Each structure stands twice: as C-alpha cells, then as structure tokens.
Structure 1
C-alpha cells in the first residue's frame, strides 16, 4: 500500500516538475525548428520567473487582486518573455551573429538584470517574499477521487493542464497547418522556402519571440507553484535540462514532452525520497545531483543519434547560394 502511495506521489510530483520543462522545451522547439539555436532558454525562464513573482507580489499587496494575482503574473511573464527574446532574434537573424554566443549573453543579462531589479524594487532584497496567492492545485471532479490514480494524474496545478494542451496544439500547428509547414521549411532549407515567397526573416522572428513567451511561462510556472517566490537559484539549470529534453525528443513536441517527463522523474525523486525517508539510506547530496547526472548520461548516449533541422544555427543571407 505504501509503495502504491509513493508511486502515486512520484507521478504527481513528476508532472509538477516536468511542466516548466515542457513549456521551455516547446519554446526551444519553435525557435530551433525555424533554424535559430536558442541557448537562452535558461535566461528566458529566469526572466519569466522574476516577472511572475514580482507582478504577482505587487498585484496582491498593492492592487488587492487576490486569487487573480498569479494569473496576472503568469500573463505578464509571457509578454515580457516575448519581448526579452527580441535581442536574440535581432542578433541572430538580422545581424547574423553567432547564435550560441547571443544566447549565452542573454542568459548572463537575465541573471544580472533580474537580481538588480529585484533589489531596486524590494529595498535591497535579493528575493521576493513568499507569495500568498500562488497557484493552488485543481482537482478534476470525480476523476481525482479514484484511489492512487486520481492523486497521480487528476490533481495538478492549472499550468500542467495548460502545457499538455499546448503540446497537442504545437503538434497540430507544426504538422497540420501552413504556418507549421513554413516554419519547418525555413529551418530545413531556407533558400527553397524563400524561392516560394516564404519570408524567412519574419518566420524566424515570430518563432524566436514565441520561444521567449513559452520559456518565460515555464519560469513563471516554477515561481508560482513549487517555490512561490523568486531568487537567484529559482531556475538553477532547468533551461538547460529543457534544451536536453528537446534534443532527446529529436525536435518533436510529443517526444520532447516524454523526454521532459523523464527528466521530471529525476527531479521529483528528490522530494519523494525525502518525504518517505529514503534519504536515511541514500546520501541527500547524491539525490540532488541526480537530475543533472541523468541529463549528462542521456545526452552522452543519445545526442549523437539526434538529427537537428538542417539549417539550425546557420544564419540566412538572402541571395546567398
């Protein structure tokens, strides 16, 4: 019985931890499918987490919006992430800069800027206070009452329900719509796409900014569910794990989702093992390094077999042959 309860809690916690990874993975998916490498997922998640936490805090303390506060913060994070991705788009697409360097620069900028703004807005504090109105779990009527399975699958944060809908929507857009066809075309063979009047630069701009919005939603999810605040270590490498899930999923939305869930298990084990006393037998330090060790092992074993979009990372210059 205890094992079943532990498995139920592990499944539920896995979905909680994987939700942010799936958001960021989808962000990376749209950007890289268009041909723009997005190493900046970490920075975009950081900006999203900061925006969600600070807007939610001021909404609940200054505006008195109560339960609406996290939704205001979540939507604000999406908008700010959309805008924050523009420098990466300009550098990578318009000025044809090295996309990896541009992404790394955005990561550094996000870390420094969010801490600076946090101290400015909160009188020198490097982290936001604990949010009183963070997201609460939603129980699906009747289904959540099923023993073990109900707790595992049908009792989750609203962001988890949103992200699974977005996975299905992303798969439909990529493979069943003219927009998705054009997006994949500019990532595989931009010159051929350009020859049939597809605006390569516009498609890539849209993809990178959409990537920023989705990754920021992932960061907001962490701040509004698992941590209920923002600090310098709120994201702590989750953007890079999301990038690993994208590669492990071979740049496909559904496969990337399952890869993110796999990495979510590694993160969830930390919490579940502590709750059930497994840390009495396994050093807690080993449990904390487990998600990152798993990421390295998976990439070492599978990255060589994953084939990225043909034009990924290659700046497009109109008229070049």
Structure 2
C-alpha cells in the first residue's frame, strides 16, 4: 500500500503538482535542489496551512522510532563509526522514501544479524545520543511544526545528519572537555523516553481537542487517523496526507514488532503489548513506542545488574 502511494506522491511532487511553488535553489546542486523541492512541496501540502491536525502527532511519533536504531545498533556491539555511517544511509532513505517503507526492512535485517546478543551501553554514548536527539531532531522539528515555511521545512529534511553530528560533537566534548553528566547509560536513555512521552501526550491532546470540538467527532476521528485505500481521484493534498497516515501505521508496526521481539519472556512481551495499546489510545503513538523501549531498557538494566553480581560472586 505504501510503495505505490510513495511513487504516486513523488511523481506529482516532482512534476510540481498545483499549487506549485517555484523550484527552490538551496545548495546550487541541481539533483539535491530537485529532491529538496519535491520534499518541500510534499510537506507544504501535508501541513495544508496547519489544517492537517495529525501532523504534530505524526512528527512526535517519528522521533522515538528514529532514535531506536541508533541505540540498538550500539547496544548490539557495533562501534560508533559503523553506527554513524549506517545511520547516515538510513537517514537518507528515511527522507527520500519514507520511514514506513525503510524501517521494516532495516529492523528485519538488524534482528536477523544481531539477534538478542547485547553489550553494555557506554554512558558517554547514551548522553551523546540524548544531546544529538534534542538538538538535531526535537529543536528542528519544533521549528518546522511551528512555522511551516519552505526554508525551515527544507532545513528539517537533514535532521538525521544533525542528530549524528551533534552526537559526535558531544562525544568529542566528553572526551576532551568535560565528563558525562549522567552516571549510567540507563539515566540518559530514560530521559529521552520520558521526553518523548511528554511530547506525545501534548500532541495527542491537541489532536483529540480538535476532534471533540468538531461538529461530528466520530467522523472527524476517522478523517484524521484513517488513510484512504484508493488514490486514483484524490487531490495532491489528500495523497500527501494519506501517505503520512500510512507512514505512521508502518512505522508503528515496525517499531512495535522490533520492540516486542527484543524483549525477553512471553509475559513481559504481553505486558508491553498491553501497555502499547492502552498508551497509544490515551497518550499517542509516541508514548506507546517509548513505553515499550522503557520496559526494554529496565529489563536490560536488570539483566546487566544480575550479570555484574554473578561476576562479583565468581571473584569471591
């Protein structure tokens, strides 16, 4: 469903579907500027001048889904240079094909290659991830959702690179200038998840307020969350918004499946699934994603603590 819609939306955006802004010239490189112009048209039509109610909640859900691969690759034992290059490639594919298209394939490959084997997460890496996420994604996303101008939308498209660059700068800063603020990796990662829950609650509340203020809340709820299944006669704006909705669904499915897969124990997985369903309905999808990864983080910290105690017992 998502792949043919992607092709249709991309072709219409590239052709300058009306209303069509002029071709933006940001970099001076024709290929890059053409891609940016296509993406800017897509986002401008999706926002629809602020009338697309789901967009803030959608962006708030992209964050938790986008940060999880950066954390899990490092936890699986990959060194930072490998993670950095891999995430740059993944980020490029995010922005040009849609996270809903790419994430299921990425997670399938990662779970196949890495499995459940993990290594302790360095505290400096966790803190650097926190810095990269807040500066590289949260700040730019807030600006884009608030202002919705072509320039800011164009700048936002590079957020995967911003996250990684600020993460790298934070790592260098911790090495040469100051120590990590957090004592453990667990604390820094929990800070990310707690913030994501907060932002999800705020954006989900905004969506629901708009729903219940409408003349027909049930119809409004369906219109906001349910994507179309037929794209033949839809306007460019509707196609763009349907793509965002399908993207949201595929991101949710991939993130949910991978989070449950990485947990250990059937009981824990069933508990996490229940938490995801309830929290997504009440607090938004971003909260659902984050709570699953918080459960995983707590389980990981507990397993690490048990492992350390076992080592100490052996040494005695």
The TM tier, using the shorter chain, reads 0.3 to 0.5
Larger RCO, structure (CA 8 Å, separation 6 or more): 1
- Normalising by the residue count of structure 2, what TM-score does the alignment of the two structures yield? 0.32
- Normalising by the residue count of structure 1, what TM-score does the alignment of the two structures yield? 0.32
